[in-house]
Amino acid sequence: MATTVITNISSLVTNDPSFGEGPLGLIQDAAVVVDGDRVAWVGTSSKAPATDNRVDAGGRAVLPGFVDSHSHLVFAGDRTAEFNARMSGRSYSAGGIRVTVAATRAASDEELAANLRRYLHEALRQGTTTLETKSGYGLTVEQEARALRIAAAQTEEVTYLGAHIVSPDYADDPAGYVDLVTGPMLDACAPHARWIDVFCEKGAFDGDQARTILTAGAARGLVPRVHANQLTYGPGVQLAVELGAASADHCTHLTDADVDALANGDTVATLLPGAEFSTRAQWPNARRLLDAGATVALSTDCNPGSSFTSSMPFCVALAVRDMGMTPDEAVWAATAGGAAALRRTDIGRLSPGARADLALLDAPSHVHLAYRPGVPLVTAVWRRGVREL
Ligand code: NIG
Ligand code: FE
């Protein structure tokens, strides 16, 4: 396989402190050697080994491709009217999910696949090279399995979220729906997914139901992740930590005990500022989590209801402006943090052996992602060593 050296990088985020300065492992005036789909070497430009191909980064910054560890992109339709109503003062509730469920059920496989492809490409244009996505807008055995098959054809990180809300078909029998989710639906879905998720929230699933669902999934080899403490205080975060979930997502309403649990457990706190932006809710307090010692990730939560953005740079900017993160912390959370939330060590860093997933910014440093909000700074993307943008 051909090797390529990318030289004249003003500032390289490796996320590997043994290769550079600080937690981001920053190298100034850097070069990266890519061999096939892997990073083979990183260091200062002057020491870069000779290779077949040379790419001049033009004195601009390179960082690992963003790892977006939370999205809901197998869906049809949109919810513009709901957004408009919210921006005129209505509040967000989980009930809107039913609108997308109806549209998704009515869509063909081809429509759903094309929609997903479009949003994956939209994310790629903004530097995302790994994207987790979930089912959850089908809520029948066939529809959930179909969503996961469609997702698995396009991304390696697929999550079974049959427990998004109680299916409207089971409005009078939530216990029956939990039996379905942990029985026939799990049988049909487990082969297509790596993760199991549940929306643990008022109006969705309570702590006992969430425990039953996640435990059943874990028994089938799916690793738990939890939508926790988004709209209200609740049991989600502590349940996630107790069950060894990879991630507790949202973490907007946290007690001191929730923060302690995250700081002392193996569960990443994944913050989704697009959701607070689009629902005009209070911001999650990243500073409090970081100061306590929790591992924090940032993700888009891209979905048509609560957060219709696929932009990790936008999330980085919000996290810095409104959640108490430094630019370095936010960039780490959007790359290495996302990788940790997906229990991956091959992505979210750029040091030898890592997957060659890189984003080149039209800016001298990664700080510009927050310093220049809303500006499309990502100008080139390599995924598995292949230039895709
Ligand atoms: O993460 N919280 C639950 N699920 C999504 C919202 C989905 C929707 O409103 O369609 C979320 O915010
Ligand atoms: Fe979500």
Distance 257 CA to ligand 2 centre (A): 23
How is the chain split into domains, by residue range?
3-65+348-387, 66-341
Q: Residue by residue, what is the 3-state secondary structure of the chain?
A: CCEEEEEEEEEECCCCCCCCECCCCEEEEEEEEEECCEEEEEEEHHHCCCCCEEEEEEEEEEEECEEECCECCCCCCCCHHHHHHHHCCCCCCHHHHHHHHHHHHHCCHHHHHHHHHHHHHHHHHCCEEEEEEECCCCCCHHHHHHHHHHHHCCCCEEEEEEECCCCHHHCCCHHHHHHHHHCHHHHHHHHHCCEEEEEECCCCECHHHHHHHHHHHHHCCCEEEEEECCCCCCCHHHHHHHCCCCEEEECCCCCHHHHHHHHHCCCEEEECHHHHHHHCCCCCCHHHHHHHCCCEEECCCEECCCECCCCHHHHHHHHHHHCCCCHHHHHHHHHHHHHHHCCCCCCCCCCCCCECCEEEECCCCCCHHHHCCCCCCEEEEEECCEECC
**Closest-lying ligand 1 atom to the alpha carbon of residue 304:** 10
Distance 131 CA to ligand 2 centre (A): 13
Distance 184 CA to ligand 1 centre (A): 24
**Closest-lying ligand 1 atom to the alpha carbon of residue 94:** 9
pLDDT at position 1 is: 65
ipTM of this complex: 0.94
Residue 107 binned pLDDT confidence (cut-offs 50, 70, 90): very high
CATH fold for the domain made of 3-65+348-387: Urease, subunit C; domain 1 (2.30.40)
CATH fold for the domain made of 66-341: TIM Barrel (3.20.20)
- Ligand whose nearest atom lies closest to the CA of 101: 1
Ligand 1: residues whose CB is within 6 Å?
A: 72, 96-97, 100, 199, 227, 230, 275, 301, 303-307
Q: Which of 199, 229, 279 to mutate to test the pocket of ligand 1 (most atoms within 8 A of CB)?
A: 199
Mind listing the pLDDT tens digit for each residue in 254-308? 999 999 999 999 999 999 999 999 999 999 999 999 999 999 999 999 999 999 9
pLDDT at position 52 is: 82
Mind listing the pLDDT tens digit for each residue in 130-181? 999 999 999 999 999 999 999 999 999 999 999 999 999 999 999 999 999 9
